[in-house]
Structure formats: structure tokens, C-alpha cells
């Protein structure tokens, strides 16, 4: 059953044979057939005694659960009554972390629409690919980020309407439109398995993949890691750097705090390691989310007692080196809460906290999930052997109209693309990625996507891009370039190529190292041998 009138997404989900097996054995995972996650998390906050507790905070405003609900309802009224959207339509969201973006996301989902959040750093090319895949007719966009989206709109006219959401008095802005409504909106009676969001992630080929998550999926995720490992309380104040366009950020900085009755603070400027520590102290932050790279940089600015309110520091998004864990513990006095998740699984499925933390391990499988380490044929390996990680649980991978579904889901199990070892006590130890994905400072980057950008520069004849281990960022992007005969390698050309990539793709995707070579390692059939480039990068 479905409340979606627009069946675009449901008709493009994988066939039953390629869908993941879903575990819903825990009693808390028994949801009714009719379910709207924003209604559950926001509208019913009053029943839990949280209506007048703060939910969204910034330097300019604090909104209680009750006040946030009224604003969300006004946004939903704009989407349905002004713009004529119907359940199942996709709405693109573009903006940095802010109260405005959080309200917009909730308004979209409460109205029974499908939220398509995008990274604020994406360029027109990348936005165009997402629009082509998701086919949204409406976008809600931070006014300062309109330019690249308007360029993408020229390439994808299916995006008919762009509404800026943070202009308070401009005609046509979301604020002005919302002010004309009364703030009374009944949540769309979506069904549990109706899709609530499409989460885009870069593939190793650079072609974006859209992971679909239902209302049930997201609420199931709330009942797993947040309930059994994080254990937040209504007194917690949450901060962090992961973008809401990442499921790591969406869960940690919006959905999970609402589930627990917490409040979330969004700063009005991008964080630096120093400013994050200062702001944490100012607002009384108790739970922080960021990537290992940022914790390592923050360690120089924090010391025991600097942020006395901080009780949990959550790390995910990339592998956590033990050296970074120990550096943070020495600087802050806190043991880091590590975890591994995936956009395709929505959030963390392996993690341990407190006394259960074991040095060098990410943790144990989160209640509600099952995980194992298998060989190339899918057979479980004995403990202490390295193999591929396989996971099942109450969430799973469902790509939108993508042949890569067959690689991610095999025999009902999800394969996130990581190599792991499980010890005799059940702890999982991360080894490496088992594909060509580069994870740098918490961002996923496909090497071929960067190669494609470099090849558009007139100086580059061939190139290969891989990840190189780096103490600060976990990995950096390294490019090997063969130049055309009329060009010579130089420091000036390195900078020109880096600037070219920054202008073409999101800036975090630029190669921090570029080496000019006479030729690239290839097979007899001409296939690029990336493993040899990785070996070269580490010699």
C-alpha cells in the first residue's frame, strides 16, 4: 500500500529478488502500516512532554518543538497549496546546515514528498546529474547558493521552480509564502514503506547513486544505534559538522536528536576546529558529531575542562586511526564513540561506547543488525581473518534504478564495500575499502569522477586518480597525469589543474597531490591498473 500519487520512485526501486533482507525482530521495530516519520518525531513531541523544550538553536533564534512544528506546517502548506505538489513528488534541498534547512526537510517529508538533500559545495554539473536522476520539479535553496543550481536548471528544465528559503522579506521566498498560511497542516497519511528521502552518494565510477529510504527505515534506524549505543537524553545539546545532506549528518544532527527529545545547535558560519571548540563551550554542547580528521585538528584547541558539558564525541564517515582516538582522549579526556555506517543503510550499524570500547576496533554489531566477514563467495570466514563485510538489519540498500544494486545486495545481504576482521570477542576491526572509493576527511569521492574533470583540461592526455593514506585527512586524492606533447609538468601546472578541478567539481574533490608520469600502468587490454597506482602512491 502507498499514499504516493506520484509513483516515480516506487516504480524504480529494485525488483524483489535484488532487495535486501530486512530484520525486524526487536519489538520496538513493529511500526503501524500507516506511518509518517515527521508526525512521529515532531507532532507527537507534546505527548512526550517535549512541546516547549528547545529543538532548533542558532545564534539568532531558538525554536521549541511546538514552534518548529508550526513553521514546518507552514512550509508544508506552501509545498502543497501554493506549489501544487502531490505525495511522491521529489523536492531538491540545497543549503548548509541551518535551522532553515532543517525546517524545510521536515516540511517536505511531512507533506508526503520525497526529500532530495544535496551538498552545498556541489557544482552545476553534479547538481544536474542529481536532478536528472531524481526528477524534482521544485527546489528549496539557500539564497546564497542559487547560482550553481540555476546553471543546473538550464540543463535540466524538469526543475521548474526554485524557492529561496532564507530571505525574510523577498517576494516569492519561502518565508514570505509561509507567512501567508495559518500553520495548521495534517501530516500526509503515508505508509511505512513509502519513500521519504533519496540520499545521493558518489559511486566509484563518479555517477551518483540514489539510496532510497522509507519512513519505516528512518524510524527503525532511530530504534537501533541511538537507543542501544548513543543513549541521548532530552537534556542533550547536539552539535557537529557533517552536512544534513549526508545521512550521517541527517541522523546525528536532526532525526536522532528529535527521537530522543534533544536540541540541536546550528552555527551561522562554517566551523573551523578552533571555532567549533569555542562554540561547543558557549552553547553547552553535550554530544558532538564529526569525522576523525576534524577531531584530530580540534585536539590542538581543546583540553580537559575547556568544554565541561561535552560527554559524547561521535566519530564516523571514515576510518578512525587509533592514533587519532588516543590524541583526542588525551586532549579532551573523553573516549571517542566510533561507528561505521553507510548511506545505503542510513546510519551506523557497528559501534561500541563507554566501557565496551576496545582499542583498535570500531565495535560490535548494533542490536537489530547482524554482520559477518565473508570470502569472495559469500562464505563466512573464521574469526581473525580479513574478508568482506556483510550486513543485514532493519535498514538496507535500495538504489533508485541502478544496476549497481546487484553488487551491493547479494543473497539479501548488504555489502558496504569494506574489508574487515572480526576477533574472537565479536569486535570488528576495519582494514580498508575493497573498491576504488576514496574517503577523504569524511567525504566519499570516486576516483574516475576526478579523472573525468582532469581530462577536460587541455594539458592532460591521460590520468589515474587514487587515494593515498594521510595522517590528517585519512586519505588524500592523488592524481597521476600524462601530459599532452605541448605541455610540461611544473608547480604552476599543478596549481592550474587543481583550480580546474575545484571549478568543475565540489572543491573537496580536488587532487592534493599531482605527479606527472610518462605513462600509466595498464593491462594488455588497456585497462588502468589502479592497484599499481596505489602502490606507487605509498612508496
Grouping H, G, I as helix, E, B as strand and the rest as coil, residue 442 is: coil
Decide which of 388, 406, 435 is a domain's last residue: 435
Is the domain of 146 the same as that of 283?
A: no
In a domain, 525, yes or no: yes
In a domain, 7, yes or no: no
Structural domain range at position 415: 213-435
How many domains is the chain built from?
3
In a domain, 285, yes or no: yes
For the record, the C-alpha cell of 283 comes out as 552553547
Is the domain of 116 the same as that of 227?
A: no
In a domain, 299, yes or no: yes
In a domain, 492, yes or no: yes
Count of positions (residues) in the chain? 539
Is the domain of 467 the same as that of 445?
A: yes
Which alpha helices (DSSP H) does 4-61 contain, by range? 37-41
Residues forming beta bridges with residue 370, ordered by sequence position: 392
In a domain, 2, yes or no: no
CA 492: distance to chain centroid?
Answer: 35
Is the domain of 445 the same as that of 483?
A: yes
Is the domain of 387 the same as that of 340?
A: yes
Helices 124-134 and 146-155: crossing angle in degrees, nearest 10, is 50
Contact 391, 414 (CB under 8 A): yes
In a domain, 358, yes or no: yes
Is the domain of 415 the same as that of 446?
A: no
Distance (Å, whole) CA 426 – CA 407 = 26
Contact 337, 320 (CB under 8 A): no
Q: What is the pLDDT of residue 323?
A: 76
Pairing verdict, β 474-483 and 460-470: antiparallel
Q: What is the pLDDT of residue 525?
A: 47
Distance (Å, whole) CA 498 – CA 241 = 25
* C-alpha triplet 133, 77, 11: angle, nearest 5°: 30
Grouping H, G, I as helix, E, B as strand and the rest as coil, residue 189 is: coil
Q: Say which CATH number the domain at 268 has.
A: 3.40.50.12780
Exposure string over 157-184, b if 16+ CB within 10 A, otherwise e: eebebbbbbbbeeeeebbbbbbeebebe
Q: What is the pLDDT of residue 454?
A: 92
Q: What is the pLDDT of residue 430?
A: 84
Is the domain of 279 the same as that of 157?
A: no
Q: Say which CATH number the domain at 120 has.
A: 3.40.50.980
Distance (Å, whole) CA 453 – CA 457 = 7
Distance (Å, whole) CA 187 – CA 109 = 9
Decide which of 389, 420, 435 is a domain's last residue: 435
In a domain, 398, yes or no: yes
Q: 10 Å Cβ neighbour count for 97? A: 26
Q: What is the pLDDT of residue 471?
A: 84
Pairing verdict, β 90-94 and 114-118: parallel
Decide which of 387, 410, 435 is a domain's last residue: 435
Is the domain of 407 the same as that of 447?
A: no
For the record, the C-alpha cell of 54 comes out as 528547545
Percent of residues in the chain assigned helix, strand, coil, to nearest 5:
35, 25, 40
Q: Say which CATH number the domain at 452 has.
A: 3.30.300.30
Is the domain of 50 the same as that of 156?
A: yes
Is the domain of 282 the same as that of 236?
A: yes
Is the domain of 82 the same as that of 164?
A: yes
Render each residue's pLDDT in the chain as its tens digit; 539 residues. 899 999 999 999 999 999 999 999 888 899 999 999 999 999 999 999 999 999 999 999 999 999 999 999 999 999 999 999 999 999 999 999 999 999 999 999 999 999 999 999 999 999 999 999 999 999 999 999 999 999 999 999 999 999 999 877 788 899 999 999 999 999 999 999 999 999 998 655 567 899 999 999 999 999 999 999 999 999 999 999 999 999 999 999 999 999 999 999 999 998 998 999 999 999 999 999 998 878 888 998 998 789 999 999 999 877 777 878 888 999 999 999 999 999 999 999 999 988 888 888 999 999 999 999 999 889 999 999 988 999 999 999 999 999 999 999 999 999 998 888 999 999 999 876 766 678 888 887 888 788 878 988 999 988 899 999 998 888 999 999 999 999 999 999 999 999 999 999 999 999 999 999 999 887 654 567 888 898 999 87
Is the domain of 175 the same as that of 305?
A: no
Amino acid at each position: 500500500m502507498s499514499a504516493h500519487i506520484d509513483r516515480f520512485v516506487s516504480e524504480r526501486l529494485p525488483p524483489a529478488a535484488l532487495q535486501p533482507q530486512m530484520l525486524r525482530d526487536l519489538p520496538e521495530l513493529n511500526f503501524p502500516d500507516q506511518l509518517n516519520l515527521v508526525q512521529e518525531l515532531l507532532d507527537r513531541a507534546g505527548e512526550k512532554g517535549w512541546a516547549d523544550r528547545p529543538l532548533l538553536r542558532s545564534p539568532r533564534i531558538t525554536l521549541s518543538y511546538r514552534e518548529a512544528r508550526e513553521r514546518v506546517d507552514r512550509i508544508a502548506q506552501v509545498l502543497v497549496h501554493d506549489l501544487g505538489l502531490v505525495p511522491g513528488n521529489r523536492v531538491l534541498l540545497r543549503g548548509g546546515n541551518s535551522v532553515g534547512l532543517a525546517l524545510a526537510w521536515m516540511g517536505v517529508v511531512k507533506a508526503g514528498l520525497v526529500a532530495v538533500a544535496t551538498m552545498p559545495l556541489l557544482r552545476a554539473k553534479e547538481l544536474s546529474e542529481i536532478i536528472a536522476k531524481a526528477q524534482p520539479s521544485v527546489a528549496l535553496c539557500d539564497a546564497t547558493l542559487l547560482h550553481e543550481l540555476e546553471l543546473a536548471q538550464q540543463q535540466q528544465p524538469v526543475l521548474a521552480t526554485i524557492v529561496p528559503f532564507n530571505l525574510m522579506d523577498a517576494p516569492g521566498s519561502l518565508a514570505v509564502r509561509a507567512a501567508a498560511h495559518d500553520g495548521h497542516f495534517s501530516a500526509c497519511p503515508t505508509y511505512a514503506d513509502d519513500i521519504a528521502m533519496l540520499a545521493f552518494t558518489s559511486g566509484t565510477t563518479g555517477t551518483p547513486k540514489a539510496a532510497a529510504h522509507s519512513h519505516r527505515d528512518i524510524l527503525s534506524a532511530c530504534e537501533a544505534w541511538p537507543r542501544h549505543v548513543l543513549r541521548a537524553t532530552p537534556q542533550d545539546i547536539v552539535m557537529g559538522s557533517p552536512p544534513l545532506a549526508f545521512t550521517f549528518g541527517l541522523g546525528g544532527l536532526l532525526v536522532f536528536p528529535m527521537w530522543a527529545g534533544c536540541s540541536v545547535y546550528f552555527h551561522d558560519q562554517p566551523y573551523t576546529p578552533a571555532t567549533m571548540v569555542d562554540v561547543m563551550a558557549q552553547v553547552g554542547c553535550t554530544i558532538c558529531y564529526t569525522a576523525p580528521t576534524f577531531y584530530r585538528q580540534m585536539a590542538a584547541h581543546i583540553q580537559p575542562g575547556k568544554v565541561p558539558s561535552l560527554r559524547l564525541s561521535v566519530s564516523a564517515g571514515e576510518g578512525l586511526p587509533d592514533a587519532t582516538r588516543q590524541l583526542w582522549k588525551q586532549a579532551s579526556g573523553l573516549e571517542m564513540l566510533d561507528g561505521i555506517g553507510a548511506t545505503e543503510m542510513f546510519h551506523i550499524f557497528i559501534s561500541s561506547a563507554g566501557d565496551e570500547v576496545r582499542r583498535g576496533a570500531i565495535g560490535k554489531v548494533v542490536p537489530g543488525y547482524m554482520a559477518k566477514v565473508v570470502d569472495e563467495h559469500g562464505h563466512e570466514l573464521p574469526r581473525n581473518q580479513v574478508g568482506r563485510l556483510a550486513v543485514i538489519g532493519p535498514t538496507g540498500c535500495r538504489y533508485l534504478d541502478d544496476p549497481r544494486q546487484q553488487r551491493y545486495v547479494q543473497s539479501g545481504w548488504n555489502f558496504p564495500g569494506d574489508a574487515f576482521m572480526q576477533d574472537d570477542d565479536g569486535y570488528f576491526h576495519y582494514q580498508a575499502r575493497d573498491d576504488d572509493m576514496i574517503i577523504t576527511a569524511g567525504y566519499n569521492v570516486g576516483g574516475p569522477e576526478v579523472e573525468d574533470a582532469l581530462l577536460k583540461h587541455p594539458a592532460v592526455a591521460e590520468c589515474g586518480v587514487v587515494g593515498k593514506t594521510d595522517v590528517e585527512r585519512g586519505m588524500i586524492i592523488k592524481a597521476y597525469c600524462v601530459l599532452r606533447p605541448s605541455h610540461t609538468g611544473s608547480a604552476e601546472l599543478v596549481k592550474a589543474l587543481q583550480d580546474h578541478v575545484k571549478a568543475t567539481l565540489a572543491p573537496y574533490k580536488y587532487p592534493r597531490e599531482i605527479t606527472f608520469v610518462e605513462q600509466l600502468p595498464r593491462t594488455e587490454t588497456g585497462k588502468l591498473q589502479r592497484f599499481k597506482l596505489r602502490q606507487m602512491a605509498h612508496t
